[in-house]
Amino acid sequence: MGFWTLPTGFLELGESVEEGAKRESHEEARAELELETLLGVYSIPRIGQVQIFFRARLMNDPSPGPESLEVGLFAWNEIPWKELAFPTVKWALDHHRKTEGKAAFAPFGNPSGTDQMTR
């Protein structure tokens, strides 16, 4: 059994961050998204990455793409927390929860006390 993650990936040459988010979501989960706003920018120096997450509206029923074994939608209390692939997925989910019902907010960064996870 694999681990769960939000759709993620790397940008293609000449692609915007927004275009990349939509493309990766479609490749991995056949998800069509309407991006709403930037949710978080997380710095992961130990692997030389900056991970960018958006808050988005899902416009269709997702299904596994060629890069995924399974795709699922979970209620908050059903999220398989112990089976999440990366700390940044938990951060993004927590930050999404904090912004529910808010139209405007500053994008989040790494949570305090996460130095051991990012180096």
pLDDT of residue 89: 96
pLDDT of residue 115: 58
89 in Cβ contact with 51 (< 8 Å) = no
pLDDT of residue 2: 82
| Residue ranges of the chain with per-residue pLDDT less than 70 | 1, 115-119
pLDDT of residue 117: 57
pLDDT of residue 113: 78
Could you give the domains of the chain?
17-118 (3.90.79.10)
pLDDT of residue 119: 46
Cβ neighbours for 31, distance < 8 A, ≥ 6 positions apart: 7, 25, 58, 59, 60, 62, 71
- The CA distance from 21 to 6, in Å, is 11
The pTM of the full predicted model, rounded to 2 decimals, is 0.90
User: Scanning the structure block, which residue is given the tokens 């089976």?
Assistant: 83
